[in-house]
């Protein structure tokens, strides 16, 4: 197989802050020809393993206890909606909860950008090694497919943080994020949202084909996970037929967990629904700077020991039927404060709970909405009945689904938020459906002063700029293709 001569980026490089520095390795060490082939053959997945390691790395962007990889991004995004209540409104992630995190000079803007583009940079180094799919052996095909799927995932994250989702006609021509498909030293312009999704679509399509026959490993993105992620992305550019097909494939190949497993703490990757996860051990735990430290109200970390309690929004809790096992993930006043979350509980009390990135349950809500939007109301209702019955303590769906397409889509939005509470999808979904974020309803359990940007505590409509993070200042300073006129 003929290989390109490239720069081996090394997942271990540290990074400066401008665009070119995101793309360029510090040591500038070139490995060419036979040396490159030998290096690849000796340890073909070393770089992608580094990508996975970075996803649970403490302090990659900054040495702060709200910087611990992918799940810190997920928490940040969930905090920006109404679904999670940051009870004390203090300490880590309070700026996200206050929707006062968007400025170009703020750490959140820079860290998320830096992390995602570092991941993309290393993934591009793998993809560059294998330019011709027809010349790859099975191991190489799977490695390239995995890298393409991961690249698409990170572009999806970027375009939904640094630009808002919405109705496709409303957002497709808005400024996107720079797209890089090969290792290089030059910065690219923002382009359009549609350009980013064109790349995401191409990457997932190619990845799924290359991952045919992959060995299933939950700690890595295989074909099933790629299909689930593709289904998610397709909803954002309104390709409902593809979303339904990918979601249906996932549903057909998986099973839903029992109700007893649902209340077991979401800390064990042995759960049959988990498609992509992190096996947290004493070697890779980030201890106090970790998901369970922030979220687990029984942990010896920030939530449990220091009282930075995380709760469910009262209105969301009230929408859950008494027979729905998901209601038992929250306590309505019987433990310290009302509506405390117990969905995520690390039984080890040593920050060794596994981390979930993707579950097959999401595919049911994607399929149902895709069916509804294509006019198959009865099919959507059947899909919803299946997962709702699995979540019921008596095995019967306790909900009635509307026959009106708009009302049904609103029901799907509600139940998807209930199902994926705390799993990082809330902000993107609020934006995609152009829903107002409202913590101000009568009887709210959100504390006063929970929004400190743009007028304080009031509903935040889809059009509000505070729902979109600005491009970091250091990217604008370092990338000649992006100027202040391109800023959000």
Given a contact cutoff of 8 angstroms between Cβ atoms, the answer to whether 197 and 233 are in contact is yes
In angstroms, the Cα distances linking 303 to 92, 337, 423 are 10, 13, 17
- Identify the band that residue 11 occupies on the pLDDT scale cut at 50, 70 and 90: very low
Give the lowest-confidence range in 212-216, 238-242, 381-385.
212-216
CA distance 11 to 34: 21
- What pLDDT digit, counting tens, does each position of 31-68 carry? 455 565 556 644 568 889 999 999 999 988 888 999 99
In angstroms, the Cα distances linking 313 to 340, 402, 425, 466 are 9, 24, 15, 20
Q: Average pLDDT of 300-313?
A: 94
Given a contact cutoff of 8 angstroms between Cβ atoms, the answer to whether 358 and 225 are in contact is yes
> Residue 7 — φ and ψ, nearest 5°?
-85, 120
Given a contact cutoff of 8 angstroms between Cβ atoms, the answer to whether 400 and 391 are in contact is no
Q: Average pLDDT of 200-208?
A: 98
- What pLDDT digit, counting tens, does each position of 418-477 carry? 999 999 999 999 999 999 999 999 999 999 999 998 788 999 999 999 999 999 999 999
Q: Return the pLDDT at 89.
A: 82
Q: Which of 289, 263, 291 is nearest to 277 (CA)?
A: 291
- What pLDDT digit, counting tens, does each position of 124-138 carry? 999 998 999 999 999
Q: Return the pLDDT at 141.
A: 94
Q: Which of 115, 104, 122 is nearest to 61 (CA)?
A: 115
Angle at 135 between CA 156 and CA 119, to 5 degrees: 25
- Burial track 37-74 (b if 16+ CB lie within 10 A, e otherwise): eeebeeebbebbebbbebbbbbebbeeebbbbbbbbbb
- Identify the band that residue 90 occupies on the pLDDT scale cut at 50, 70 and 90: confident
CA distance 415 to 429: 12
CA distance 52 to 70: 10
Q: What is the fold of 6-263+356-449+456-486?
A: 1.25.40
CA distance 82 to 426: 9
Q: Average pLDDT of 406-423?
A: 98
Q: Average pLDDT of 183-211?
A: 96
> Which tokens in the block code for residue 126?
């793998």
Higher confidence at residue 410 or residue 17? Answer: 410
Query: Coil, strand, or helix at residue 194?
Result: helix
CA distance 352 to 293: 10
> Which tokens in the block code for residue 393?
């303590």
Whether residue 297 is predicted with pLDDT greater than 90 in this model: the reply is: yes
Strands 6-7, 30-31: parallel, antiparallel or unpaired by DSSP?
Answer: antiparallel
- What pLDDT digit, counting tens, does each position of 327-339 carry? 999 998 777 789 9
pTM for the full model?
A: 0.93
Q: Return the pLDDT at 6.
A: 33
Whether residue 14 is predicted with pLDDT greater than 50 in this model: the reply is: no
- Identify the band that residue 28 occupies on the pLDDT scale cut at 50, 70 and 90: very low
Higher confidence at residue 167 or residue 24? Answer: 167
Beta-carbon contacts of 407 under 8 Å, excluding residues fewer than 6 positions away, are: none
């Amino acid at each position: 197989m003929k290989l390109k001569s490239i720069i081996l980026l090394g997942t271990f490089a540290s990074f400066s802050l401008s665009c070119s520095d995101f793309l360029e390795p510090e040591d500038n060490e070139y490995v060419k020809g036979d040396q490159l082939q030998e290096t690849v053959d000796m340890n073909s997945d070393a770089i992608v393993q580094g990508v996975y390691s970075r996803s649970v790395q403490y302090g990659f962007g900054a040495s702060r206890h709200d910087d611990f990889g992918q799940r810190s991004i997920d928490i940040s995004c969930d905090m920006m909606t109404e679904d999670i209540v940051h009870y004390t409104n203090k300490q880590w992630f309070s700026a996200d909860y206050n929707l006062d995190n968007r400025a170009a000079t703020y750490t959140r803007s820079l860290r998320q950008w830096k992390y995602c583009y570092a991941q993309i940079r290393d993934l591009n180094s793998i993809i560059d090694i294998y330019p011709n799919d027809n010349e790859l052996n099975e191991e190489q095909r799977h490695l390239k497919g995995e890298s393409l799927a991961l690249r698409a995932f990170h572009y999806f994250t970027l375009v939904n943080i640094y630009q808002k989702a919405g109705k496709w006609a409303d957002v497709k021509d808005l400024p996107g994020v720079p797209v890089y498909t090969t290792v290089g030293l030059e910065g690219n312009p923002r382009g359009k949202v549609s350009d980013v999704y064109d790349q995401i679509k191409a990457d997932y399509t190619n990845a799924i084909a290359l991952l045919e026959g992959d060995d299933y490993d939950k700690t890595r993105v295989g074909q099933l996970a790629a299909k689930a992620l593709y289904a998610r992305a397709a909803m954002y550019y309104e390709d409902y037929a593809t979303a339904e097909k990918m979601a249906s494939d996932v549903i057909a190949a998986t099973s839903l967990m029992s109700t007893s497993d649902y209340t077991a703490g979401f800390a064990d990757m042995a759960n049959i629904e988990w498609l992509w996860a992190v096996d947290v051990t004493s070697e890779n735990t980030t201890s106090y700077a970790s998901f369970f430290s922030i979220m687990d109200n029984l942990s010896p970390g920030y939530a449990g020991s220091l009282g930075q309690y995380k709760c469910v929004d009262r209105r969301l809790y009230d929408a859950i039927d008494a027979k729905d096992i998901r209601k038992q993930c929250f306590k309505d006043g019987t433990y310290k404060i009302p509506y405390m979350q117990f969905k995520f509980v690390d039984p080890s009390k040593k920050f060794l709970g596994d981390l979930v990135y993707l579950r097959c349950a999401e595919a049911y809500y994607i399929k149902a909405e895709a069916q509804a939007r294509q006019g198959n109301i009865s099919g959507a209702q059947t899909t919803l009945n299946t997962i709702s019955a699995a979540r019921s303590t008596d095995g019967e769906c306790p909900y009635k689904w509307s026959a009106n397409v708009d009302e049904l889509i609103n029901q799907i939005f509600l139940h998807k938020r209930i199902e994926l509470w705390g799993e990082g999808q809330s902000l993107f979904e609020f934006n995609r459906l152009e829903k107002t974020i409202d913590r101000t309803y009568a009887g709210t359990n959100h504390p006063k002063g929970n929004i400190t940007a743009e007028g304080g505590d009031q509903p935040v409509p889809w059009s509000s700029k505070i729902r979109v993070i600005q491009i970091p200042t250091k990217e604008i300073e370092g990338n000649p293709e992006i100027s202040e006129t391109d800023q959000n």
